[in-house]
C-alpha cells in the first residue's frame, strides 16, 4: 500500500507563532545585555534551530553570549507557555485542511524548528495531535535546510520520496525538501515572500489552505 506523506512546517504554516518568538527573543537579548534584534529579522529566522537562529541574529556576539541568549530564550519561551501567555493561533482554514487530508488518506507529519515539547503543546492546544503520525523537531535533528527531518519522517512512515510533499512558508523549508528529494509546496501567509520560496525550489505557492489542498492533490 502506498503511503502518501504530507509534512508541514509549524510556525508560519500551521500557526502564527511570531509574537511568542519575537517576545522571547527580545527578552533573551535583554537578559544578555545586548541590543534588541529587529523584529523583521527575527521573523525571518523562524524555522531555523535556535542556535543557528541566534548566530544569524547576533553574528558578532561571543560563543558565551550566544549560549547565554540560547538559555534565556528557552527559559522565557517556556515560562510564557507554562503561564498561558503564549498565543500561537491557527491560520484560518488550517484545522479544516488537516482534517480533510486525513480523511483523504494522507499520512500527516510536522518538520519544525520548534522543540518537541513546544510542538506537542501547540498541537494539543489546537486538538490536532491525533492527526499527525510523525513529528520531527530541531532538538532531534540538524537545523533546516538539512534533510534529516524529512528523511526521518520517510523512514518512520514508510513513505517514498516521490509520495511525500513538504509544505512550508520559508526558503529553509523549500531547500530542505529539495535536499531530501521530495515535493516542495510553499504558502504565502508566513514569513518569507513568494519570490523567495520559488527561488528556493518551491513547485508553486498556495494562497490559502483551500488552494493548498488542491495543490497537494
CA distance 173 to 177: 6
CA gap 118, 171 in Å, rounded: 22
Residue 154 CA to its chain's centroid (Å): 17
Q: What angle do CA 15, 18, 20 make, to 5 degrees?
A: 100
Tell me, yes or no, if 11 is annotated catalytic: yes
Strand order in the sheet with 204-206: 132-137, 107-112, 5-8, 164-168, 183-187, 204-206
Which stretches of the chain are DSSP H helices? 18-31, 39-45, 50-57, 63-83, 94-103, 116-125, 148-157, 171-180, 194-199, 209-216
In sequence order, which residues have a C-beta less than 8 Å from that of residue 101 and are 6 or more positions away?
6, 108, 213, 216
Q: 11, 163, 169, 173: which one is catalytic?
A: 11
Instruction: Check 9, 16, 163, 169 and give the catalytic one.
Output: 9
Alpha-carbon gap, residue 8 to 173, rounded angstroms: 9
Residue that the C-alpha cell 520559508 belongs to: 170
Distance of alpha carbon 216 from alpha carbon 86, whole angstroms = 31
Annotated catalytic sites, by residue?
Answer: 9, 11
Amino acid at each position: 500500500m502506498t503511503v502518501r506523506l504530507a509534512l508541514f512546517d509549524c510556525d508560519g504554516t500551521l500557526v502564527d507563532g511570531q509574537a511568542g518568538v519575537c517576545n522571547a527573543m527580545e527578552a533573551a537579548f535583554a537578559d544578555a545585555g545586548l541590543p534588541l534584534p529587529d523584529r523583521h529579522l527575527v521573523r525571518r529566522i523562524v524555522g531555523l534551530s535556535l542556535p543557528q537562529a541566534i548566530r544569524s541574529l547576533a553574528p558578532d556576539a561571543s560563543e558565551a553570549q550566544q549560549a547565554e541568549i540560547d538559555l534565556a530564550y528557552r527559559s522565557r519561551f517556556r515560562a510564557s507557555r507554562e503561564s498561558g501567555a503564549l498565543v500561537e493561533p491557527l491560520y484560518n482554514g488550517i484545522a479544516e485542511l488537516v482534517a480533510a487530508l486525513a480523511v483523504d488518506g494522507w499520512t500527516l507529519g510536522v518538520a519544525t524548528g520548534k522543540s518537541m515539547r513546544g510542538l506537542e503543546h501547540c498541537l494539543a492546544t489546537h486538538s490536532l495531535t491525533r492527526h499527525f503520525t510523525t513529528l520531527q523537531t530541531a532538538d532531534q535533528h540538524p537545523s533546516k535546510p538539512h534533510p534529516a527531518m524529512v528523511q526521518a519522517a520517510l523512514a518512520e512512515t514508510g513513505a517514498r520520496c516521490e509520495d511525500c510533499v513538504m509544505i512550508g512558508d520559508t526558503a529553509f523549508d523549500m531547500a530542505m525538501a529539495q535536499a531530501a528529494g521530495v515535493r516542495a509546496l510553499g504558502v504565502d501567509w508566513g514569513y518569507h515572500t513568494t519570490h523567495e520560496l520559488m527561488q528556493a525550489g518551491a513547485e508553486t505557492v498556495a494562497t490559502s489552505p483551500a488552494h493548498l489542498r488542491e495543490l497537494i492533490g
